Chains A and B, each alone.
Chain A
Amino acid sequence: KAGVTQTPRYLIKTRGQQVTLSCSPISGHRSVSWYQQTPGQGLQFLFEYFSETQRNKGNFPGRFSGRQFSNSRSEMNVSTLELGDSALYLCASGNLFAPSVGELFFGEGSRLTVL
């Protein structure tokens, strides 16, 4: 069974640009969550989608947005990039209606560097 796939794995952008990251969940999983990992801050929750609907949102500015498609694949977008957006962005999928209860399966992440 294929795992969670995130693309691209690495990317470099400059301040002011925008970026789109993609996540393909495990086949059959309907929930996708996004997390930002930075040194010293751990894993910070961005948002969660279930059946194309955003169900939860973390405390991030409106520059961070996402969506989920009918095939459960998800994208997140960050506009007007800032240096502080440099981080590892992790996508996780779950197969429960209430994915917060139980384990999430994480992808390897997309490492974003903003110069």
Chain B
Amino acid sequence: DQQVKQNSPSLSVQEGRISILNCDYTNSMFDYFLWYKKYPAEGPTFLISISSIKDKNEDGRFTVFLNKSAKHLSLHIVPSQPGDSAVYFCAASGADGLTFGKGTHLIIQP
């Protein structure tokens, strides 16, 4: 059973607009959530994280929102830039380490 789900395999957004990537989880014991970004032929790189005691964390163009009651988090990128085109993985931290979603391929169109 998948504990971390990214239901959109891909997302296409126009340059300059907002990109919203979604992630749902089932395990209420997760205490920390992270987003990673991956370019082809490279390893994932850490982007932004949020503790379960918070509902928002912002870092420049990137903001992560956490809705614990809905077991849902989202990553907002605004404005979207061509270099943001990549696969984004949502990850949740628990007793068994990090559990990753399957990823969403974000495509920024000019």
Cβ contacts under 8 Å, B95 to chain A: 100
Query: Do the beta carbons of A33 and B44 come within 8 Å of each other?
Result: no
B62 CB–A CB distance under 8 Å = no
Query: Do the beta carbons of B34 and A103 come within 8 Å of each other?
Result: yes
Given A45-B98, A101-B32, are A107 and B93 also a contact pair (CB < 8 Å)? no
Main secondary structure of the interface of B (DSSP, over half): strand
In the complex the two chains form, what is the Cα distance from A101 to B92 in whole Å?
9
Contact of B31 among A42, A44, A101, A105 (CB under 8 A): A101
Cβ contacts under 8 Å, A35 to chain B: 100
Query: Do the beta carbons of B43 and A109 come within 8 Å of each other?
Result: yes
Cβ contacts under 8 Å, A45 to chain B: 96-100
Q: How large is the interface on B (under 10, 10 to 19, 20 to 34, 35 or more residues)?
A: 20 to 34
In the complex the two chains form, what is the Cα distance from A35 to B91 in whole Å?
13
Distance in angstroms from A39 CB to nearest chain B CB is 10
Contact of A48 among B6, B36, B42, B97 (CB under 8 A): B97
Query: Do the beta carbons of A99 and B102 come within 8 Å of each other?
Result: no
Q: Which residues from 48 to 101 on chain A have a C-beta closer than 8 Å to any C-beta of chain B?
A: 48, 55-56, 90, 92, 99-101
In the complex the two chains form, what is the Cα distance from A40 to B43 in whole Å?
17
Residue among A41, A56, A106 with max Cβ neighbours from chain B (10 Å):
A106
Question: Using an 8 Å CB-CB cutoff, how does the interface string of B78-110 with A read, 1 for contact, 0 for none?
Answer: 000000000001010111111111110000000
Cβ contacts under 8 Å, A108 to chain B: 41-43
Query: Do the beta carbons of A100 and B94 come within 8 Å of each other?
Result: yes
Cβ contacts under 8 Å, A44 to chain B: 100
Which residue of B is nearest A41, CB measured? B102
